[in-house]
Amino acid sequence: MSVVVVGAGPTGLAVACALRARGVPVRVVDGAAGPATTSRALGLQPRGGEVLGRLGALGDLPQRSVGIGRVVIHVGGRRAGELRVGQPTKLVRQPGLLVSQAEVEARLRQRLEQSGVRVEWDTQVVGVEQDDGGVVLSTSAGRVTAEWVVGCDGAHSAVRKGAGIGFPGVPLVEGFVLGDVRVELPLPRDAVGVWVRGEEMFSAFPLPDGVWRFMAPAPGVAVEDVPAFLAACADRHAGLRIGAGDRWVWTSVFRIHRRLAETYRHGRVLLAGDAAHIHSPFGGQGMNTGLGDAENLAWRLGLVASGRAGHGLLDGYEIERRPVAADVLDSTSGLTGLVLGESALARVVRDRVLFPLMGLAPVRKLIWEQASQLKTSYSRTRFGRRPRVGDRVAEFASHPEFRWTLAAPAGNPCVSVARDLLGDVREVHRDGHALLVRPDGHLAWRGKAEPDALRRALTAMLDR
Q: Which residues pair with 81 in a beta bridge?
A: 73
**Confidence tier at 115 by pLDDT (50, 70, 90):** very high
For residue 32, what is the DSSP state? Answer: S
Statement: residue 130 has pLDDT above 90: yes
CB atoms under 10 Å from CB of 360, counted, come to 10
387 prior amide bond cis, ω within 30: yes
The percent of residues in the chain predicted with pLDDT above 70, rounded, is: 98
**Confidence tier at 463 by pLDDT (50, 70, 90):** confident
Mean pLDDT taken over the chain: 90
The CATH number that domain 170-256 falls under is: 3.30.70.2450
Nearest-angstrom CA–CA distance, 213 and 182: 9
Fold of 3-64+98-169+258-372: FAD/NAD(P)-binding domain (3.50.50)
- Average pLDDT, integer, range 162-185: 89
Statement: residue 322 has pLDDT above 80: yes
Domain ranges of the chain: 3-64+98-169+258-372, 170-256, 394-461
Burial of 460 (0-12, 13-18, 19+ CB in 10 A): exposed
- What is the torsional sign of CA 285, 73, 183, 208? negative
| More confident site: 364 or 295 | 295
Q: What are phi and psi of 155, to 5 degrees?
A: -60, -30
The pLDDT tens digits of the residues spanning 437-446 come to 999 999 999 9
- Average pLDDT, integer, range 351-357: 80
The percent of residues in the chain predicted with pLDDT above 90, rounded, is: 61
Residue pair 272/322 in contact (Cβ under 8 Å)? The answer is no
Q: How far is CA 430 from CA 16, 95, 126, 281, in A?
A: 32, 29, 52, 42
341: region left, alpha or beta (phi > 0 left; psi from -120 to 50 alpha): left
Domain 394-461: CATH class, spelled out:
alpha beta
The pLDDT tens digits of the residues spanning 14-68 come to 999 999 999 999 999 999 999 988 777 888 889 999 999 999 999 999 988 888 8
